[in-house]
Chains A and B, each alone.
Chain A
Amino acid sequence: MSATAPTAGTPALEIHGLEAGYGKIQVLWGIDLTVEAGSFVTVIGANGTGKTTLLRAVSGLVRGVHGSIRAFGQDLHGHSPARIVRAGIGHVPEGRQLFPLMTVAENLASGADYLPGAAREITRSRATVFELFPRLAERQLQLAGTLSGGEQQMLAIGRALMSRPRLLLVDEPSLGLAPSLTKAVFRALAEINRAGVTVVLVEQNVQRSLALADRAFVLENGRIVKQGRGSELLDDPAVREAYLSL
């Protein structure tokens, strides 16, 4: 899929009228959402509002999606996940989903091995990941299953980075992590974003994730009910009441 070089100002992600679900259960009801290239976007919402489904729809993991999804000007609708990841879209799945009986190095390699472009750059990508997460470098030969929760999340993000994505979708990285580790993971995401990767983060940890966001969306019952700059939403009384219990 050789895309024409995106002209300046082409959004990293443009979603219009997206409807998706599983079988007869509809989860998303007409999502419109634009993510500027290079920005950091956060989508917040309670459990079961469709945050994960939104990311899965972009990655091609949900079938029978209606509406349009374009990334860097390229139509993704109906493409297989394998093609979508080749178009530069990385996905860090909820719950990490590592290979516990393989080493850190092998887990990282698995993120690039099936992508011809990324496979050629494997050494360089690994160096980038180790720079970002020095603890992974120390534990290269350790089995992923023996890592701590925070290290596992770092590895999951690292594996997605191995595909050299231009757009990184991250699903609930703070799940099950202690606050200090959550902070470290979010700091890493901010660093990845500064290096030029557009980040779409889906989170229940509203405080920290909104603080990072250039732009944020609030998802309720499969619809976007509010959007704005991260700091704006963080000051919004309704958001504060619903998600921060303040």
Chain B
Amino acid sequence: MRRALPDVLWTLALAIVAALAPTLLKAGFDQASVSYLSLASNAMSLGILALSWDLLARTGQLSLAHAAFYGAGAYAAAVLANATGVPIVLALPLGGLVAGLLALGLGSVTLRLKGIYFAIATLAFTEVLKAVVQELPTGLAGGAAGLNVPPLFRPHFVPGQMQRWEIAFQRNEAYFYVYAALLVLTIAVSIVVQRTRLRAAFTAVRTNEAVAAVMGVRPARAKLLAFVLSSALVGMLGALEAMRLGSVIPDGTFAISTTVFALVTPIFGGLYTTLGPILGAGVLSAVEETLKRTFAEGYLIGYGVVLVASILFMPRGLVGLATRLRRRRGGSGTPAAGDAEGPA
């Protein structure tokens, strides 16, 4: 690990802010804090989705199967809860495990595919997995109608001492912490990748496999490792979301929009970095919410305009823009020669 201290400090600072946030929100906003917590969880969910996708993209594998692994995790949780009596909390690691194993299988057969061919294969995989889940015995996976998923937390109401909205607060607060924990885990994985020899391996596999090979890296292993890590993390997210939303349904749980958000957010924030996808998730969530409140109908048009403008004017995302501004002000004026690490 090289230059690890600043990362650790940042992560710790974020963790402390997250730990205090619900209490502070409640003190400051009373009833409104319920929806703020929910918004924060949505933003963190987008961050986990985006950063886990970026982990895989660092090896040059532009996946359109993120929804598949998200859905696999969600269904693993749902089936576990409905078919067995084990505690629902086990759904989280199980969701990660199932998604990770599926990624190992898919990754092994797509190893030699590149670029658009890899993307198409992964897109097809999403559709196939959705169809398979839909055709499973209804008693097991619920068919086209889906399944209910029990919640991870059951708030307990104390009459007389609590107000009604505090039930929702309790519930949202509990989920907030779990999302924060999963986000911290995803950030930690990303930082480890960026600060160890894995960064050079992933970058080399992305930009020039021959260089990776003469460094002694086995490209197939590096790609599979990224695929499994990325999918296990998003599988856990899928399981968590299934519990928070209360149900899974093939068309919704395997929706292509999940994949779209997973790749748009890192592109907006800055590809191949830890900060980029997180920053992108925060900003896009805030933009989306503001637009929703301003124009109830058709807010997606505004959202689209923001995305198109950002691709046009900051091709390397928020992080790239920040780097450019800092360089201009610092006056060192030496742009990185070659763009081998820029967005592919």
Task: Give the shortest distance, in Å, between A213 (CB) and chain B (any CB).
Answer: 23
Q: A114 and B217: CB pair below 8 A? A: yes
A205 at the interface (CB under 8 A from B): no
A109 at the interface (CB under 8 A from B): yes
Task: Give the shortest distance, in Å, between B289 (CB) and chain A (any CB).
Answer: 33
Contact with A along B185-216 (1 / 0, CB 8 A): 00000000000010111011001101101111
CA distance A85 to B204 in the complex (A): 16
Measured between beta carbons, the chain B residues less than 8 angstroms from A56 are 210
Q: A93 and B210: CB pair below 8 A? A: yes
Measured between beta carbons, the chain B residues less than 8 angstroms from A115 are 216
Measured between beta carbons, the chain B residues less than 8 angstroms from A99 are 200, 203-204, 207, 340-341
CA distance A80 to B214 in the complex (A): 10
Chain B interface residue count, CB cutoff 8 Å, equals 24
Interface 9-residue window, one of A13-21, A36-44, A100-108: A100-108
Q: A61 and B214: CB pair below 8 A? A: yes
Measured between beta carbons, the chain A residues less than 8 angstroms from B203 are 99, 102
Q: B204 and A81: CB pair below 8 A? A: no
CA distance A152 to B210 in the complex (A): 18
Chain A interface residue count, CB cutoff 8 Å, equals 35
A91 at the interface (CB under 8 A from B): yes
B83 at the interface (CB under 8 A from A): no
CB nearest to B222 among chain A residues = A114
CA distance A114 to B200 in the complex (A): 10
Tally of A-B residue pairs with Cβ under 8 A? 86
Of the listed residues A99, A146, A152, the one surrounded by the most CB atoms of chain B closer than 10 A to its CB is A99
A64 at the interface (CB under 8 A from B): no
Q: A110 and B334: CB pair below 8 A? A: no
Measured between beta carbons, the chain B residues less than 8 angstroms from A107 are 200
A82 at the interface (CB under 8 A from B): yes
Q: A100 and B337: CB pair below 8 A? A: yes
Q: B204 and A110: CB pair below 8 A? A: yes
From residue 135 to 171 of chain A, which have CB atoms closer than 8 A to chain B? 143, 145-147, 152, 159-160, 163
B2 at the interface (CB under 8 A from A): yes
A60 at the interface (CB under 8 A from B): yes
A90 at the interface (CB under 8 A from B): yes
CA distance A80 to B221 in the complex (A): 13
Measured between beta carbons, the chain A residues less than 8 angstroms from B199 are 102, 106
Q: A100-B340, A145-B336, A146-B334 are in contact. Are A111 and B211 (CB under 8 A)?
A: no
Task: Give the shortest distance, in Å, between B322 (CB) and chain A (any CB).
Answer: 14
CA distance A106 to B197 in the complex (A): 9
B218 at the interface (CB under 8 A from A): yes
Contact with A along B164-185 (1 / 0, CB 8 A): 0000000000000000000000
Q: A110-B204, A143-B336, A145-B336 are in contact. Are A90 and B197 (CB under 8 A)?
A: no
Interface residues of B (CB under 8 A from A): 2, 197, 199-201, 203-204, 207-208, 210-211, 213-218, 334, 336-341
What are 20 A-B residue pairs whose CB atoms fall within 8 Å in the complex?
Answer: A80-B213, A81-B210, A81-B213, A82-B213, A85-B214, A93-B208, A93-B210, A93-B214, A97-B208, A99-B204, A99-B341, A100-B338, A106-B200, A109-B200, A114-B215, A114-B217, A115-B216, A146-B336, A159-B215, A163-B215
